[in-house]
Structure 1
Amino acid sequence: MSTHNTMIDRRSDLDALRAGAMLLGIALHASLSFFPAYWVVSDRSQEPAFGLLFSAVHGFRMPLFFVMSGYFSAMLLHRRGRAALVEHRFRRVFLPLLAGMVTIVPLTMGISTLAMTSAPRKAGGTAPAAGASTIWTAARSGDLDAVELHLKNGAAVDAFDPDRGGTPMMWAAVAGRAEAVQRLIDRGADVNAAGRDGGTALHGAAFLGHERTVDVLIRNGADLNVANKDGSTPLDTAVLDEGTTRYFASVLQLDLDENDLGRRKAAIAETLRHHGATAGRKSGLADILMQMPLFNHLWFLWFLWWLVLGLAAVSALGSRLPTIQPPAWMARSPGRYLWLIPLTMIPQWFMGDGGDPPFFGPDTSSGLLPIPHVLAYYAVFFGFGALDFGVDDRTGRVDERWWLPLAIGLLVVFPLGTALNAGWAGPPGFALDPSARRLLSVFLQAAYPWLITFGLMGLFRRICPVESPTMRYLSDSAYWLYLAHLPLIIGAQYVVRDWPLPAAAKFLLVVAASTALLLLSYQTLVRYTWIGRLLNGPRVRPAAGSEGLAVPAQ
Structure 2
Amino acid sequence: MDNLRAIIMIIGVFYHAALAYNASWSSIWFSADTVQSLSLELFSDFLHVWRMPIFFVVSGFFTAMLIQRRGMGGMFKNRFLRVFSPFVIFWPLLLVAYYVAFLWAIGNIENKSAILELMAMPGAPEGTISLMHLWFLYYLMIFYVLTWVFRQLPLTKIKNAIVEMNPLLAIMVLPLFLIPGLTLSVIHIRGLLTFTPEIWGILFFGMFFAYGYILFSSSRLLDYFDRSWPILFITALVISAPMLYMFPAISFDPNRIPFEFIQPDWNIRIPLILCIAYVATLMSVVGLVVAKKILNGNNGFMRYMSDASYWIYIVHVPILLMIQFWLLDQEGGAAYKFLFSSFSTLLICLISYVLLVRWSPIGWLLNGKRKPLFSN
Band the TM-score falls in, shorter-chain normalisation: 0.7 to 0.9
CA distance in structure 1 between the partners assigned to 2:104 and 2:191 by the alignment? 24
Corresponding position of 1:417: 243
Quote the Cα distance in structure 2 between the aligned partners of 1:364 and 1:436: 24
Deviations 1:527-552 (Å, cap 9, x if unpaired)? 1111111111111346xxxx159xxx
CA distance in 2, matches of 1:48, 1:529: 42
> Is the contact made by 1:33 and 1:42 (CA closer than 8 Å) also made in structure 2?
yes
> Percent identity, aligned pairs only?
25
Which structure would you say has the larger RCO, counting Cα contacts within 8 Å and 6 or more residues apart?
A: 2
Letter of the 2:340 counterpart: L
Deviation sequence 1:361-400 (CA, Å, 0-9, x none): 3432121121111122111110110011111559833422
1:129-278 alignment, distance < 5 Å:
250=115, 258=122
C-alpha separation between the residues in 2 aligned to 1:302 and 1:475? 21
The one-letter code matched in structure 2 to 1:309 is: V
Which residue number in structure 2 is paired with residue 166 of structure 1? none
1:311 match: 147
Deviations 1:408-458 (A, max 9, x none): 112x1111012123349xxxxxxxx95443221110011111111111111
Matched, 1:297 2:133: yes
Residue 346 of structure 1 aligns with which residue?
180
The CA distance in 1 between the partners of 2:326 and 2:166, in whole Å, is 48
Residue 515 of structure 1 pairs with residue 346 of structure 2 = yes
Distance across 1 between alignment mates of 2:139 and 2:222: 33
CA contact (8 A) 1:341 1:447 kept: yes
1:463: how far off? 1.4
Is the CA contact (8 Å cut-off) linking 1:332 and 1:398 kept in structure 2?
Answer: no
2:356 aligned with 1:525, yes or no? yes
CA contact (8 A) 1:45 1:502 kept: yes
Task: Return the offset for 1:323.
Answer: 4.4
In the alignment, residue 524 of structure 1 is paired with which amino acid? L
Q: Which of 238, 255, 271 is matched with 1:440 structurally?
A: 271
Q: Highest Rg: 1 or 2? A: 1
Alpha-carbon distance in 2 for matches of 1:351, 1:538: 40
Q: Work out whether 1:34 is the aligned partner of 2:13.
A: no
Contact 2:167 2:220 in 1 (8 A): no
TM-score (norm 2): 0.87
Please tell me whether the aligned partners of residues 526 and 532 of structure 1 are also in contact (alpha carbons under 8 angstroms).
yes
Contact map agreement 2:46 2:244 (CA 8 A) in 1: no
Structure 1 residue 483: deviation in Å? 0.4
Q: Verify: 1:404 aligned to 2:231, yes or no.
A: yes
1:26-78 deviations in whole A, cap 9, x for unaligned?
00111122233111112232223221111011111111100000000011011
Give the Cα–Cα distance (whole angstroms) in 2 for the partners of residues 312 and 548 of structure 1.
39
3-state SS of paired residue (2:190): coil
- 1:135 alignment partner in structure 2: none
Distance change (3 Å), C-alpha of 1:331 and 1:539 = farther
Distance 2:193 2:166 in 1: 33
2-structure distance, mates of 1:488, 1:548: 34
| Counterpart code for 1:111 | A
Query: 1:341·1:446 contact (CA, 8 Å) conserved in 2?
Result: yes
Measured at CA, do residues 514 and 423 of structure 1 come closer, stay the same or move farther in structure 2, by a change above 3 Å? closer
Amino acid at match of 1:503: A
**Distance 1:463-1:21 versus aligned 2 partners, 3 A rule:** same
Deviation digits for residues 112-139 of structure 1 (CA, Å, limit 9, x no counterpart): 34324555x31x54xxxxxxxxxxxxxx
**1:365 alignment counterpart:** 192
Provide the C-alpha distance between the structure 2 equivalents of 1:24 and 1:65, rounded to a whole number of angstroms.
Answer: 11
Unaligned runs of 5+ in 1: 1-13, 126-248, 266-290, 425-432, 550-554
Contact in 2 for aligned 1:40/1:116 (Cα 8 Å):
no
On the 8 A contact 2:163/2:214 being kept in 1, the answer is no
For this pair of structures, how many residues does the alignment match? 358
> 1:508 offset after TM fit, Å?
0.6
How far apart, in 2, do the equivalents of 1:472 and 1:104 lie? 26
Shift of 1:329: 5.3
**Cα deviations across residues 74-124 of structure 1 (Å, max 9, x unaligned)?**
1101111100111110110000001112212321232134324555x31x5
2:81 matched to 1:85? no
Q: Which has the higher helix share?
A: 2
Q: Which of 70, 95, 104 is 2:85 aligned to?
A: 95
| Native 8 Å contact 2:232 2:282 kept in 1 | yes
> Residue 163 of structure 2 contacts residue 218 of structure 2 at CA under 8 Å; is this kept in 1?
no
> What is the CA distance between 1:495 and its match in structure 2?
1.5
Quick check: 1:471 aligned with 2:302?
yes
CA distance in 2, matches of 1:322, 1:457: 25
**Matched-pair contact (CA < 8 Å) for 2:50–2:283:** yes
Conservation of the 8 A alpha-carbon contact between 1:298 and 1:483: yes
CA-CA distance at 1:466 after TM superposition: 1.9
Verify the 8 A CA contact 2:133 2:191 in the aligned structure 1.
no
| Aligned equivalents of 1:72, 1:104: Cα separation in 2 | 27
Report the CA distance shift for 1:511/1:84 in structure 2 as closer, same or farther (over 3 A): same
Aligned to 2:66: 76
CA distance in 1, matches of 2:155, 2:47: 41
TM-score computed with the length of structure 1 as normaliser: 0.60
CA gap of 1:339–1:64, structure 2 versus 1, over 3 A, is same
**Amino acid in structure 2 at the alignment position of 1:250:** I
8 A contact 2:83–2:141 mirrored in 1: yes
Unaligned runs of 5+ in 2: 251-263
* Secondary structure in 1 matching 2:160: coil
Task: Identify the residue that residue 45 of structure 1 maps to in structure 2.
Answer: 35
Contact 1:362/1:374, CA 8 A, preserved across alignment = no
Q: Deviation per CA, 1:216-253: give whole Å up to 9, x if none.
A: xxxxxxxxxxxxxxxxxxxxxxxxxxxxxxxxx626x6
Question: Hey, what does 1:390 align to over in structure 2?
Answer: 217
- The Cα of 1:327 is off from its aligned counterpart by 3.7
Q: Match for residue 535 of structure 1? A: 366
Match of 2:57 in 1: 67
